[in-house]
Each structure stands twice: as C-alpha cells, then as structure tokens.
Amino acid sequence: MYKGKSFRIRFFAICVLLASLCAGMLSARAETDKTWQSGTLIQVKAHEVTSADNVVSKQYEITVQVGNKIYLGSYTAKDGEPELEYYVGMARMVLIDGDTLTFNDLLGRAHSMRITSTRNATEAQS
C-alpha cells in the first residue's frame, strides 16, 4: 500500500510539472505575437482640441508604416509630451496590439494611440 501511495504522489507531481510547462509555453507564444517592431512615421497632422473644461490640447493624426502595413491613428498629447511633427521620417519602435499602436518617444517613454484604419503599403512607399 505504501508503494501505491508513493506512485500516486510522483504521478501527481509529474502532472503538475507538465501542466506548468505547457502553460509556460503558451504564455511565451502569446508574448512572441506581441513584439516591438520598427515603424516609420510617414505623416503627422496636428489639430488643437478644446475639452469641456476649456483645456486646449493637441490631437494628432499619425500615419505609421510597419513592414508592408500602413496604420492611421489618432493620438491626444498630454502636457509636456513632445511635438510629434518633428518625428516625421523617424524610425520608432512600435507595438501593435489589436486596435492600439504603442510607440516610444525619443526618451524611450511609451505612448499609445488608437488605430483608426489599416491598409497595405503600395510598392512606391515600400
């Protein structure tokens, strides 16, 4: 009877080990789907927006090319954030996650914007 109990404990431990290994592989797979990539800011259009409490902020329409895709998004800058007009033509690290594009500014701070449309890049732009 002692031998049977020992076998069950080892079997349970091996099952737990295999389950955690499988879970680790799945989470690693999910993380590799969301990798930072190099993207180029093609165009930035700035607009001033006034909020309900009369605070004026800059809102940007940003066009970013990542590989063979072009993403158009809108981003509202907060006080003290960089002027994105100066980023046109620069390669920045971007992370695309669903309908959100996250990019790093020159200081390495991450900023997220909502993607409003996506299209394939033409041969002339590639």
The full DSSP string for 24-92 is HHHHHHHHHHS--EEEEEEEEEEEEEE-TTS-EEEEEEEEEEETTEEEEEEEEPPTT---GGGGTT-EE
Q: Are residues 56 and 23 in the same domain?
A: no
Please count the structural domains in the chain. 2
Half-sphere exposure of 12 (CA within 13 A, CB side): 6
Q: Which two tokens stand for residue 4?
A: 């049977």
* Main-chain phi, psi angles of 21, to 5 degrees: -65, -45
Render each residue's pLDDT in the chain as its tens digit; 126 residues: 456 677 777 777 787 777 777 676 665 555 545 789 999 999 999 888 777 777 777 888 999 999 999 999 998 887 777 778 888 898 888 999 999 999 888 888 888 999 999 999 875 444
Q: Are residues 23 and 66 in the same domain?
A: no
Domain hosting 41: range is 37-120
